[in-house]
Structure 1
Amino acid sequence: MAGINAALKVKKQEPLILSRDEAYIGVMIDDLINKGTNEPYRLLSSRAEFRLLMRHDNADMRLYKHGHRVGLISDEKYQKFLDKCALIDENIEILKNTILSGNQTMVEEMSLLGIENFKGGVSALNLLKRPGISYEMIKKYAPVKEGLSITGIEQLEIMVKYEGYIEKEKKEAEKLRKLDLLKIPRGINYHNVNGLALEARSKLQDVDPLTIGQASRISGVNPADIAQLLIYIKKEKNND
């Protein structure tokens, strides 16, 4: 990260900042900057709020766009990645739109898969969500497109089976991302911001956060302090 951002600074480009829902190194850097440490820092998975989004199987989905932007991923490799993502999305849509019938043949085949009393009227996508059912088991019942690798199939299965949990975590991450989009003007003297607690004023002055999201994660800064900071920034903008 240090090398990447040093090169970007020389090129006068925006720095690469990985968020807390994109990479564990993003969690580590955010913690070290905003929370500090008085002893050796250990990056435990429990430090990350969005562990379900930072799985080993979706590392490319999280990081390839950044790698391509800074020149670490070639155009050819990035295009292959985009093609794979498009194929996964297309096959998920096919599974969603394929409704399985409840005829005798299908009931018997479902019984062989361990699904008793199958009555039909279920999409192939919902069938895949059931425990013990794999993509390979049900793809013969839906006109899915071939071409997915083993890792691509694994990604598809995880996206489908844990969809509810993943979407819930994405919503939480989006809330944090919105706060990170609220930039704090450079050069603020936090000692001039009325209503801040003494500890918050001192911590904000020391860290000098770039965004409201970063400010909210600083140890010693509470929601009331963030509210006062937002009021101050709004007033300053109106005065300008």
Structure 2
Amino acid sequence: MIGILSMVSRRMGLAIMTLYWLSGCGLPGAGVSVEGDLKLFYAPFPLNNPPRYWHYAERPAKLDSGEQSRANSLYWDDIGGRIALAMRPAVAPFELGRRTNISVLASPYLSFDWLMNASARPGDTELVLGFRAQSHGDWGESDLGAGKPPVDHVIRLPIGGEMTDINEWQRDYFDLSALHRRYWPDTDTIDVRLVWIGISSSADQRADVAGVTYLSHILLSR
């Protein structure tokens, strides 16, 4: 885990503090496996009409289906029998995510699967994690506001790796509580909850027009 954190830290100035002045969130409707793991991203849904608790912070230029889908910045694709979200950030900037309400101490381990084509680069797309301290304000378990929630801290994790000629799915793991403590050591993680998890195009690098990054199976576990 230390090696993973070092790699991420080298790729970018990982943590960015910010504050969003939007409404709050909860986590009904997520898939739960028999082991008790929480599947936040595990099945395709209509991108032009995301399900409840999902939200576009930045909407792609197009979200139609069929043959024109390859002109979209987000579309579903079948990669070796696995349905995955294809992301082409050169088409248009985007941020798609969902509200959550998860203690980083109760379910601290985050994993996700990714694959890049030959034209994509690490960091073309990012996983965006929004954290909030439960003791701040009147936010709590039953907060089911619409849209993107207010957050105290944001961490942006670049999706992809430095390896070339990779044609198999890769899986990245992170310990959320350790990750948060690394950048905000003075915050008591017993109060910290993950309240937003999003997928975003990078604001810091220009992607190749042919670059596609695929994402699948975002999972939180104990």
Q: TM-score range by the shorter chain?
A: under 0.3
Q: TM-score, structure 1 length as denominator?
A: 0.21
Considering Cα pairs closer than 8 Å and 6+ residues apart, tell me whether 1 or 2 has the greater RCO: 2
Q: TM-score, structure 2 length as denominator?
A: 0.22
Q: Name the structure with the higher strand share.
A: 2
Bigger CA radius of gyration: 1
